[in-house]
Amino acid sequence: MKLAYIIQCTALAAMVAHADEAAIAPKCLYSVTETSQETKVKPEKIVTVSAGGVVSVAGSAAEYPCVDFLPANGVWDLSPWGHIETQVKNTSEMPIAVNMRVDQTDPFQSNTEIAYLKPGESRTLKVIFGYQYGFKPGPKLDPAKIKLVKLFVGGKSDKTRTFTFTDIFANGPAGEKPPLNPNHVVTVPENGVMVPMKKGTDKNLSTFNDAKAVFTKSGTVAVTLGEREWGAVRVKPAMGSWNLGSWLKVKAVVKNTSGTAIAPRMKIDGGEAIETDETPIAPGKTAVIEKTFFAPKSWCAKEGQGTLPGCTYKFESHRVKGVVFSAKGQRKTFEILEIKAEDVVAELPGWLGKKPPVPGDWKLVWHDEFNGKELNDEWEIYTANYWDKRTHFTKDNAFLRGGNAVLKYEKKTGHQNDDPSAKTTDYACGFLSTYGRKTWTYGYFEARMKLPTAPGLWPAFWTMPDRGADKGPQWVRADTWKGGMEFDVMEHLTAWGPHRFNIACHWDGYGKDHKSVGTSGAYLPADKDGYIVVGFLWLPGQYVVYGNGVEIGRLESSRICNVPSYVILYMVSGGWANVPIEDEKLPDEFQIDWIRVWQKK
């Protein structure tokens, strides 16, 4: 098949070479027109690749059907170039998302970009080394160690999907950076202060419904409502968004400069907007308007229904696009004297940590206060790293100090599990689990923890099934099929800031039959020492998560795990929505003050 938009690798190379003798010609990795080439092509069973770059994906339950392109000698040295690209076209009758992933070996890392295409639409799909998902900073690939280019379609479909691609080639200058996307600019306001704004301009203000707003000489914002009801002003960064992840509320001080009463509202736009009620302010008076980031309702899901209406919470405090003030009425004025993000310190009940937060005849059946000099033998400190592939677990980074178990994350080359025959990676951390040592079926499990803050880290408190040594290797013993389930009690990505984490359940494996439910909108204040207390109640048909003694999440289902399970405390890098590691901000630590397990007598 001849495609009008195909750019052959040889033709492109010649064109670049003649245009600029100093430029490095693109390197062809795979040609859709050449029959003999060194690159190996490996499509999945349901994927076919035909001449001319035609890809067909049969309908199936597979989530990410793909075709891999691999160098014949195992690795491409693409250090003279800055990106890999191809052009893709949707030849299906439905919208599709074509992804291109570029993988690095030793250690494994990858960058991915996505082209969302309507039927008949085409687009250049380009992965710049070190950037992903809209050219945001991602894992820093070494272009000299590229082992794979993968094209795949996102999502499941029972219908056949087709697309075409052109020659795949490496291009662009080494160290290439994407053009600045204003939407990706993130600013952390100094000390949380957004107003008064020292150098505010019209780029920091936008108005709605005939309202007007200007900065005063002192940096406050003077607002005048026009003839239309509910005039509003948005105070925002000049570009992108504010990262308020280090705080848990926004406080504003507003002065009524009208001759009559007003009742403004404040809305914080963090993807999903959260809003205050109206706050009455008498003429000439000031009022404080506050809004915390806590979910208005505990997350709740039920079997066959998923997350229930009203329980979804998608506010993201690390991506606040602006703070909006609105008021009902015409020709009224007010002044925004202050907008400031502030922390909230938890006020903890005296019984917390001494008993479960639900009534019953409970007995403390196991605990570790970490008050000794060394970890006891009820903890396993080694396991395979199934998660980020670049962190090795070592006994040196799991230790006791000052009444805490410490998992230390640092840049340090070493062998996985301290095994000289295992591969080496450049980052080290500790690992703790009770796998092969302790399991429980049902009960209340709770831990007091202090989270790390360095970018790119992924600490968690969670459980997995363990059917016993007689059931075979770990992948069989800990299988989430046949009554097994992964409970994610506290799964944190440091990109979010120290107050937000994920709650989830996973079951039926991690392939095409994988099922899950949960929320990434759990916000929780730390106590005066920086610790949070998170626990979960596990009973037949119930999984309930508590933060500082208060219910924050619940799943009710007959599918709730009924298999003995073990506890895991770990930290690696990455995660599904994190930012890259910043070596200069390492080492950092995940600290656990205590962990306790109760069961009913």
At residue 61 the predicted structure's pLDDT band, cuts being 50, 70 and 90, is: confident
Residue 23 pLDDT grade (very low, low, confident, very high; cuts 50, 70, 90): low
> For 273-327, how does the pLDDT look when each residue is reduced to its tens digit (9 = 90+)?
999 999 999 999 999 999 999 999 999 999 989 999 999 999 999 999 999 999 9
State the pTM of this model.
Answer: 0.84
What is the side-by-side strand order in the sheet with 109-117? 40-43, 66-70, 146-153, 96-104, 109-117
Half-sphere exposure of residue 350, counting CA atoms within 13 Å on the CB side?
A: 0
Instruction: Give the whole-number percent of the chain exceeding pLDDT 70.
Output: 96
Which parts of 198-240 are beta strand (E)?
205-208, 212-215, 221-224, 231-235
**pLDDT tens track for 151-170:** 999 888 889 999 999 999 99
Rounded to 5 degrees, φ, ψ at 393 are: -90, 135
* pLDDT (tens digit per residue) in 105-123: 877 889 999 999 999 999 9
Q: How confident is the model at residue 35 (pLDDT cuts 50, 70, 90)?
A: confident
Overall average pLDDT of the 196-212 stretch: 95
What average pLDDT does range 77-92 have in this prediction? 96
Q: What is the mean pLDDT of residues 9-15?
A: 42
Tell me the mean pLDDT in the region 64-88.
94
Say what the pLDDT of residue 389 is: 82
Mean per-residue pLDDT, 13-31: 63
Hunting for tokens 């289902």 — which residue is that? 557
* pLDDT > 90? residue 16: no
Q: Is residue 380 predicted with pLDDT exceeding 70?
A: yes
Of the candidates 266, 271, 276, 275, the one whose C-alpha atom is nearest the C-alpha of residue 320 is 271
User: Looking at the predicted structure, is the pLDDT value of residue 5 above 80?
Assistant: no
Mean pLDDT of all residues in 125-154 = 93
pLDDT of residue 136 exceeding 90, the answer is no
Mean pLDDT of 354-383: 97
Residue 3: pLDDT over 80: no
DSSP state of 148: E
Question: What is the reported pLDDT for 108?
Answer: 82
The confidence band for 601, taking pLDDT boundaries of 50, 70 and 90, is confident
Q: What is the pLDDT of residue 314?
A: 96
Q: Are strands 186-187 and 241-242 parallel, antiparallel or unpaired?
A: parallel
The span from the CA of 440 to the CA of 83, in Å, is 50
pLDDT tens digits, residue range 453-480? Answer: 999 999 999 999 999 999 999 999 999 9
Q: How confident is the model at residue 441 (pLDDT cuts 50, 70, 90)?
A: very high
pLDDT at 220 over 70: yes
Binned at pLDDT 50, 70 and 90, residue 4 comes out as very low
Contact 81, 26 (CB under 8 A): yes
List the single range of 98-107, 361-370, 531-540 with lowest mean pLDDT.
98-107
Q: Answer whether residue 2 shows pLDDT above 70.
A: no
Give the pLDDT confidence of 490-540 residue by residue, as tens digits: 999 999 999 999 999 999 999 888 999 999 999 999 999 999 999 999 999
As a whole-number percent, the residues of the chain with pLDDT over 90 amount to 85
Q: What residues contact residue 419 under an 8 Å CB cut-off, 6+ apart?
A: none
CA distance 546 to 464: 19
Give the pLDDT score at 20.
40
Contact criterion met (CB below 8 Å) for 580 and 137 = yes
Give the C-alpha separation, 47 to 32, whole Å: 16
256: nearest Cα among 331, 348, 313, 333: 333
Q: Could you give the domains of the chain?
A: 9-176 (2.60.120.430), 186-342 (2.60.120.260), 365-487+530-600 (2.60.120.200)
Mean pLDDT within 70-90: 95
Chain mean pLDDT for the chain: 93
Exposed, middle or buried, 529 (CB in 10 Å: 0-12/13-18/19+)? exposed
The residues with which 414 forms a beta bridge, in sequence order, are 425
DSSP result, 527-585: -TTS-EEEEEEEETTEEEEEETTEEEEEEE-TTS--S-EEEEEEEEE--TT-----GGG
Average the pLDDT over each of 241-255, 351-365, 571-585 and give the range with the smallest value.
571-585
Q: How confident is the model at residue 9 (pLDDT cuts 50, 70, 90)?
A: very low
**Choice among 16-20, 30-34, 521-525 with the minimum mean pLDDT:** 16-20
**Whether the Cβ atoms of residue 566 and residue 443 lie closer than 8 Å to each other:** no
Looking at residue 458, what is its pLDDT? Answer: 97
